[in-house]
């Protein structure tokens, strides 16, 4: 690995270290991610489950029928999401890294569910649901809500 990557929550009760380079790094615009974080988009990266070493005791909450979110029970910082269809990997929140500049997103998923007033200035690929190459899950798409006048 080029750089040692560590991260954690706002209050320091939960810390983690990545033992391998992140892959499948992107932005998620889905409603569930937005509501779980209170942000218009979540930047995430993936590592093998065994390469995500945690100290402290993150709280785990089943947030969907297919996955659970890990967060600090003291300050509420979301640290990671572990999904059933990819049991061998875990997705961590890039913004919870001590140096988030080390990991750059490469795509957007669930762009079809984005908040209409939010857009980023990048030219990365945008997928309306999961990327076609998403491992372990049939592609799912969400249609945009009709505008109300």
Alpha-carbon dihedral 95, 142, 115, 68, rounded to 10 degrees: -30
Q: Tell me what pLDDT residue 4 has.
A: 82
Domain positions in the chain are 5-113
pLDDT in tens, 96-126: 999 999 999 999 999 999 999 998 889 999 9
Q: 3-state class of 6 per DSSP?
A: strand
Model pLDDT for residues 44-87, shown as the tens digit of each residue: 999 999 999 999 999 999 988 889 999 999 999 999 999 998 99
Task: Please state, in angstroms and rounded to a whole number, the distance separating the CA atoms of residues 19 and 127.
Answer: 29
Average pLDDT over residues 22-47: 94
- Kindly report the CA angle at 127 between 52 and 7, in degrees rounded to 5? 20
Q: Which pLDDT band, with edges at 50, 70 and 90, does 138 fall under? A: low
Tell me how far apart the alpha carbons of residues 102 and 18 are, in angstroms, rounded to a whole number.
12
Tell me how many helices (H) and strands (E) the chain has.
1, 10
Is domain 5-113 classified as CATH 2.170.150.70?
A: yes
Q: Whole-model pTM?
A: 0.85
Q: What are phi and psi of 21, to 5 degrees?
A: -65, 135
Q: What is the pLDDT of residue 147?
A: 41
| pLDDT interval class at 143 (50, 70, 90) | very low
């Amino acid at each position: 690995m080029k750089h040692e990557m560590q991260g954690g929550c706002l209050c320091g009760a939960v810390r983690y270290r990545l033992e391998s380079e992140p892959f499948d790094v992107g932005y998620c615009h889905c409603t569930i991610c937005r509501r779980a974080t209170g942000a218009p988009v979540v930047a995430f990266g993936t590592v093998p489950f065994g390469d995500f070493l945690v100290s402290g005791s993150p709280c785990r909450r089943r947030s969907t029928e297919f996955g659970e979110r890990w967060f600090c029970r003291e300050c509420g910082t979301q640290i990671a999401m572990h999904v059933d269809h990819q049991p061998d990997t875990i997705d961590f929140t890039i913004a919870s890294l001590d140096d988030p500049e080390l990991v750059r997103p490469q795509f957007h998923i669930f762009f079809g569910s984005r908040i209409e007033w939010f857009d980023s200035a990048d030219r990365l690929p945008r997928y309306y649901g999961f990327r076609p190459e998403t491992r372990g899950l049939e592609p799912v798409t969400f249609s945009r809500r009709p505008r109300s006048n």
